[in-house]
Amino acid sequence: MKICILGAGAIGCYLGGALSAAGADVTLVVRPRIETELKDAGQIHLSDYQGLSLDAPLPQLSTSADTLVSADVILLTVKCAAVASATEEIARFARPQVPVVALQNGIGSEESLKDLPNPVIQGIVGFNVAPLGKGCFHRGTEGDVYTSALSCGDSLNHYFSQVGFALKQTDEFEALRWAKLQLNLNNAINALSDMPLKSELETRAYRKVLSEAMNELIAVVDARQLQLPQLTRLPARWLPKLIRVPDFLFRRLASSMLAIDPEARSSMWEDLNSGRRTEVDFINGAVVRESERLGLNAPANRALIELIHGIETGTRPAGMSGEDILQHIKKRR
């Protein structure tokens, strides 16, 4: 089985390294900068918050999507804003029977994939990956890869499980992606804080912001009558209330949420600091759009979108306190 990862940034390179380490036939379609970095390194080094340290053989590399012509399965790991252009490349080069596994954060970018003749399988990556440079990629949080039914899912899981995570298939993907979105709502808060995830989550004011954003998502899924699955050691519906408790109690009750690398940061922080467009419109924006459709209000997520856009356009610096963010939310009620 020839596996092609289209748009291999941090997540794609981590998945590609895991596949290569397990002996899979994998090709990464990367930007020229990443191609140069990986060729100079001569390998992909994988590490994680649990102590993994593994040198994986360098997969085949390409800077052109024409390599899709030989793929038996395509893992699409581009950012949400790049899905439309990636769809054009898939339509141009991939054989129509080849499955496309769309592994994006957020909700909404998948619309452009609907016109493909290929079977499209929705998926999410449930963990954070930080690019450390020189071909090194670090998984900073717990989690697995989740997809709807996938014909080659067992084969992919065989490879991934050798490197410490799994590919899990579900018939309830719609509820699952909203459960993952609930966790991703913190991406914007972490980017605004300009702090490592662990330090941010240890600060009650930031958790209050996250609680408000999560409660707005819970209102949406309640209106849609979805049952959120449990993706962490804590039930999804407990999270908004639990994270509001004082810091000392939170550290005791939610130790699993803090079992992350001390220096890990969100992908949205990485995007802002690299001058790239963030996925805030597909994460917090999904809650706002669905709230409007259902006649609900979402001031917390709306405020987070506006603040992130302010940093993107250079009109606001990063490094906001949780109290400042709460004041912005208060103004939008």
Instruction: For strands 120-125 and 129-133, give the pairing.
Output: unpaired
How big, in percent rounded to 5, are the helix, strand and coil portions of the chain? 50, 15, 35
Indicate the class that CATH gives domain 2-171.
Answer: alpha beta
Task: Please name the helix (run of DSSP H) or strand (run of DSSP E) that holds residue 6, with its range, or none.
Answer: strand 2-6
What pLDDT is attached to residue 130? 87
Q: Using alpha carbons, select from 89, 123, 131 the residue that is nearest to residue 106.
A: 123
What pLDDT is attached to residue 32? 96
What pLDDT is attached to residue 237? 92
Indicate the class that CATH gives domain 175-331.
Answer: mainly alpha
What pLDDT is attached to residue 256? 74
Residues of the chain with CATH 1.10.1040.10: 175-331
Q: Using alpha carbons, select from 166, 5, 136 the residue that is nearest to residue 72.
A: 5
What pLDDT is attached to residue 63? 97
Q: Using alpha carbons, select from 121, 116, 163, 118 the residue that is nearest to residue 146.
A: 121
- Angle between helix 186-193 and 280-293 (nearest 10): 130
What pLDDT is attached to residue 234? 81
What pLDDT is attached to residue 21? 97
Dist. CA 121–CA 103, nearest whole Å? 9
Per-position pLDDT tens, the chain of length 333: 999 999 989 999 999 999 999 999 999 999 999 999 999 999 999 999 889 999 999 999 999 999 999 999 999 999 999 999 999 999 999 999 999 999 998 999 999 999 999 999 999 998 889 899 999 999 988 889 999 999 999 999 999 999 999 999 999 999 999 999 999 999 999 999 999 999 999 999 999 999 999 999 999 999 999 999 988 878 899 999 999 999 999 988 888 777 777 888 899 999 999 888 999 999 999 999 999 999 999 999 999 999 999 999 988 888 999 999 999 999 988
Residues of the chain with CATH 3.40.50.720: 2-171
